[in-house]
Each structure stands twice: as C-alpha cells, then as structure tokens.
Amino acid sequence: MKKKIAEIIREKSSFEIITHEWPDADAVGSSTALAMALVALGKDFQIVNSTPTPEHLLLTPLPEKNSKFEIRNSKFPEVSLLLDVSDMGVIGEIKPKGMVVVIDHHATNQGFGDVCWADSRMSSTSEMIYELLNALDVEITEQIATNIYMGIFGDTGGFVHPNTTKKVFEVAKELVNKGANPNYVADKLKKNKPIIYYNILCLVIQRMSVKDGICAAYVTSEELRDLNATPEDASGIVEELASIAGVELAIFLRDIDSCKAHCSLRSRNTNAARLTAQAFGGGGHDKAAGFSIQGRAKELAPVVFKEGLRWIQTA
C-alpha cells in the first residue's frame, strides 16, 4: 500500500493534507513533514484542518500551501491525504475534496477511503511518513527529521509506551543523524506546560478516586470557566492518572460544552482503554483511546468506570 501511495504522489499534482481535530504531535509532525516533502517534489498542496494547530507543536515553519496551486490547477485538489485519521468522525466539519488516501496507525481503523494504508504495528503516523518519504526518495532535511521525530516522540510518550520498538530507535537514530535534536523536541513537548494545566491538575488530583485498579476523575465546564481554561488545557491529564502505581485503567472526562463531554482512557497491560472507548462509540489504540459523547463529565464518570471495570476484569 505504501508503494501505491508513493505512485499516487508521483503521478498527481495537487493535494490537500487533513488530520484529526485538536491535532497532537503526531498529527502535526506527520502533516508538516509530508507538506515539506510535497514542496520538494514541486507539488501543489494545502493543509486543511478543522481546529487550530497548537503553537508549541510548530517546531519549524508550517508550509501552509504552495502559492502556485491556484494558478496551476483549477481542479484542486486531486488527492486528499488523511493523516493519523482513524475514521471520518475525527476530522470535524471537513469534507475531503479529492481521492481519499488514508495513512494511519490506529488499531480501530477499519479501512476506509479510496486507498488506505493502516498499520497498527507502527508507533505513529510520522513513522509511516518516514517510510513513505524514503520510498519517494525525498531528502530527509533537518526540518523534516525534526517533525517526524516529534511525531514519534509524542505518540510513544517520549519512548515510554509499548509501541517503543527496536525499529523506533533505529528510525530515531537516523532522524538524529539528519539533524533532529532530541533535547529540543523533548523540551518543547515535555517541559512546556502552561501553569493553567497545573491549576486543573490540582483540582483533578483532589477529586480522583482510585479503586479496583481504576483511577477516574473529571472536570466540569463550570470549573474550567472559573479557572479561565479551555477543555484543551486539560489534555495530558489522563497520563498523570495513568502514572499512579497499580492503576490498570485511567479514565479522565472533561466537559467540552454544556451538553458534550470527551473521555480519555489509558490502560497499562490490557486492551481495556480501547474496549471501553469502543463501548461508547470511540476508538484509538489498545492502551490509549478516547471518545466524545453527549452528556456531562460528572454524570458520565461512574458509567464509564463501570464499563472499564468490566473490561479489565475480562481482559
């Protein structure tokens, strides 16, 4: 499938790059690296996302679009490249305009679009982009290496999660050889949290319950408002809950607005995170998954706890 996608990229001339809502390091790293490769190949492209790219993930300038595309191609774009997208539900309001080509590593990707390269053995979509660029003979510049390294670092939790394979280290070594700076990337991703994150964490830690191997907590929209925070400011908190000794499943719910909530799940040894997320219509990876649902975080917390308990007991 990688070869087929390389062929499509060689043959076609106009592309749009789309990734999931609230892009993370892998989404931004893979999109930026591929956009830079399209520039090198002389292709017309545009990056299209439904929510803004977080500033702290812009380690290099973001090539937003090739300015020549409007002049050169009236049928723009021929191809829509969906990166780190497990299903059409995660791209928000965006409607792909071209032939849909998916590159993704989520376990819950069932295969969709016109061409789909989905491989859950890959640590990250960024690792897949690294392979694709090699297949295309694109030079891995320092900027491309930095973005791919960032994506791998992000999705392996800084070379911590079970997707940290021997191959990941081999690719990381090649990227460092090309100019990626491990300390710079780690500093931007791990030591760059705003104070507001700790304000929310403080509240969450006081509230969390640890029982039967599950740590569960939530934050309401009223609390976020009182702290002058957005729901996005609470991303990453689930990792703190999952770091407590003996916790098999971490559940963290946050209100998105007055009628919608998001749940983040992490499991240690079982697939309980994915199985619990899927029970509520979500998805992700075996040990890191999530879902969005109608309702309030506070009321949903015991319901998700009960479902999670079922899965860690049967796994």
Q: Give the interface with Mn ion as residue ranges (CB under 5 A).
A: 26, 84, 124-125, 155
Of 155 and 248, nearer to Mn ion (C-beta) is: 155
Among residues 179, 175, 247, the alpha carbon closest in space to that of 216 is found at 247
Binding ligand 5GP (rule: CB under 6 A), the pick from 238, 242, 272, 300 is: 238
CB of 85 closer than 8 Å to CB of 101: no
| Residue of 291, 308, 309, 311 interacting with ligand 5GP (CB under 6 A) | 291
Token readout for 77 is 């774009």
| Residue 11 exposed, middle or buried by CB count within 10 Å (0-12, 13-18, 19+) | exposed
Residues within window 243-282 making contact with ligand 5GP, judged by CB under 6 A? 264, 282
Judged by CB, which is closer to Mn ion: 124, or 267? 124
What is the token pair recorded at 114?
């016109």
Residue 76 makes contact with ligand 5GP by CB under 6 A:
no
Q: Residue 87 binds which one of ligand 5GP, Mn ion, none, with CB within 5 to 8 A depending on kind?
A: ligand 5GP
Distance CA 23, CA 92 (A): 12
> Which CB atom, from 157 or from 182, has the smaller least distance to ligand 5GP?
157
Which is nearest to 38 in space by CA: 53, 61, 17, 59?
A: 17
Q: Are 146 and 126 in contact (CB under 8 A)?
A: no
Among 96, 113, 283, 308, binds ligand 5GP (CB under 6 A): 283
Taking the complex as a whole, the smallest distance from the CB of residue 160 to ligand 5GP amounts, in Å, to: 15
- List 288, 301, 304, 309, residue binding ligand 5GP (CB under 6 A): 288
Q: Is 26 exposed, middle or buried (0-12, 13-18, 19+ CB in 10 A)?
A: buried
Q: Is 29 helix (H, G, I), strand (E, B) or coil?
A: helix
Report the partner that residue 26 touches, choosing among Mn ion, ligand 5GP, none (CB closer than 5 to 8 A by kind).
Mn ion
How many CB atoms within 10 Å of residue 177? Answer: 10
Q: Any idea which residue has 């499943």 for tokens?
A: 249
Among 292, 296, 303, 315, binds ligand 5GP (CB under 6 A): 292
Q: How far is the CB of 285 from Mn ion (least distance, A)?
A: 8
Which residues make up the interface to ligand 5GP (CB under 6 A)? Answer: 86-87, 89-90, 106, 108, 235, 238, 264, 282-285, 288-292
